[in-house]
C-alpha cells in the first residue's frame, strides 16, 4: 500500500492532545482532495465525523467552536 498524500491545514494544541485539519486524497487529482479534522491524543488518533456531513464544527464526538484568537472543543 502506498502512502496517501496529505497537507496539514491547521493544528491546535490543548493539555489533552492536538486537533488537526488535514486535506488528503487517494489520487493526485485536485477533485479528489477532502478535508478532515483529526484528534491526536496521547495514545490514539481519531477522525472526527461531521454530523449530517456538514462542516460547521458539529461532530458525532464533540462540538468545535473557533473564534478569532481561540477555540473550544467539547
Residue 56 located in a structural domain: yes
pTM of the entire predicted model: 0.68
- Count of domains in the chain? 1
Q: Is 72 in contact with 19 (CB distance < 8 Å)? A: no
Residue 69 located in a structural domain: yes
**What is the rounded distance in angstroms from the CA atom of residue 58 to the CA atom of residue 62?**
7
Range of the domain at 62: 6-73
pLDDT recorded at residue 55: 63
Residue 60 located in a structural domain: yes
**What is the rounded distance in angstroms from the CA atom of residue 14 to the CA atom of residue 1?**
33
CA distances from 31 to 21, 25, 34, 42, 68 (A): 18, 9, 9, 33, 30
Per-residue pLDDT of the chain (74 residues; tens, 9 = 90+): 566 678 899 888 878 788 888 888 767 666 777 888 888 888 989 888 777 766 667 777 777 777 666 666 66
Residue 1 located in a structural domain: no
Retrieve residue 13's grid coordinates: 494544541
Amino acid at each position: 500500500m502506498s502512502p496517501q498524500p496529505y497537507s496539514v491545514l491547521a493544528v491546535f494544541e490543548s493539555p489533552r492532545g492536538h486537533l488537526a485539519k488535514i486535506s488528503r486524497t487517494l489520487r493526485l487529482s485536485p477533485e479528489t482532495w477532502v478535508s478532515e479534522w483529526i484528534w491526536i491524543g496521547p495514545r490514539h488518533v481519531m477522525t472526527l465525523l461531521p454530523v449530517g456531513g456538514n462542516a460547521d464544527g458539529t461532530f458525532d464526538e464533540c462540538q468545535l467552536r473557533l473564534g478569532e484568537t481561540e477555540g473550544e472543543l467539547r
